[in-house]
Amino acid sequence: DADVTQTPRNRITKTGKRIMLECSQTKGHDRMYWYRQDPGLGLRLIYYSFDVKDINKGEISDGYSVSRQAQAKFSLSLESAIPNQTALYFCATSERQGARDEQFFGPGTRLTVL
Amino acid sequence: AQSVTQLGSHVSVSEGALVLLRCNYSSSVPPYLFWYVQYPNQGLQLLLKYTSAATLVKGINGFEAEFKKSETSFHLTKPSAHMSDAAEYFCAVSDRGSTLGRLYFGRGTQLTVWP
């Protein structure tokens, strides 16, 4: 079984709809991240969380919100989706060690906003 | 903030040829450096990372990268390309003095391997 899972894997929605993307991990890691990937732009950080009570904005948090329901679960919400939020979204985890740590990625959610 | 530049958004090589993917970073203090690979329809997985004094780092699948402080570079190489190496490759950095563990990614290089 995968250590980092994301649901759904694909989603098509309409402008203005509320969308939630979910991430679960069985690695026991404290740190979790949400990224979006756009062609030619690499990955950009949306939000990150160091534990259930510690949530921080990344470089592109506008239009997004997150919830850390438990150590193992980190959800990303789009309150009112817009077409330029069409992208591939990745959840990642890492241990508490800090800057030298590898991040472990989920398989991604492909979101299309019409 | 850190900045990572990957020269060449697309690289094409023949099977058996040398693979060279370029990565340069911007900070004056050398960061931790990572190479990740993304196969089609999959998430990213770590190829290798540089965190210590050993400047030549060996990773999975025959890849290696050399940290050159004077050139602020961390280029990825493989002596002989295989068809299975076709994927997108991302260079990433994190601040050595930070406890945040935040990664800054380059824009990626798509590697095509011709038979």
Other Cβ atoms within 10 Å of A16 Cβ, number: 10
Establish if A10 touches chain B: CB-CB under 8 angstroms.
no
Tens digit of each residue's pLDDT (9 = 90 or more) over B57-74: 999 999 999 999 999 999
Q: Check: CB of residue A8 under 8 Å from CB of residue A71.
A: no
Q: What is the mean pLDDT of residues A30-41?
A: 92
The model's pLDDT over B11-64, given as tens digits with 9 standing for 90+, comes to 999 999 999 999 999 987 788 999 999 998 888 999 999 987 788 999 999 999
- Chain B residues close to A90, C-beta within 8 Å: 43-44
Cα gap B85→B63, rounded to integer Å: 10
pLDDT given at position B31: 86
The three-class DSSP label of residue A96 is: coil
CB burial readout B33-61, b (16+ within 10 A) else e = bbbbbbeeeebbebbbbbbeeeeebebee
Q: Residue A54 corresponds to which tokens in the numbers above?
A: 């510690």
Q: What is the pLDDT of residues A57-104, one digit of tens each?
A: 999 999 999 999 999 999 999 999 999 999 999 999 998 766 677 899
The least confident of A4-13, A57-66, B4-13, B92-101 is B92-101
Question: Residue B99 pLDDT > 70, yes or no?
Answer: no
B10 to chain A nearest CA, in Å?
Answer: 10
What integer best gives the mean pLDDT of chain A?
A: 93
Sequence-separated (6 or more) residues with CB below 8 Å from residue A32: A23, A25, A48, A49, A68, A74, A91, A92, A93
Q: Does A106 touch chain B (CB under 8 A)?
A: yes
11-30 in chain A: CB under 8 A from chain B: none
| A84-108 per-residue burial string, b: 16 or more CB within 10 A, e: under 16 | ebbbbbbbbbbbeebbbbbbbbbbb
pLDDT at B96: 75
SS3 at position A3: coil
A112: pLDDT strictly greater than 70: yes
Region A4-27: what's the mean pLDDT?
96
Q: How far apart are CA A96 and CA B52, in angstroms?
A: 18
In angstroms, the Cα distances linking A96 to A4, A32, A46, A103 are: 17, 10, 19, 11
Chain B residues in contact with A42 (beta carbon < 8 A):
90, 105-108
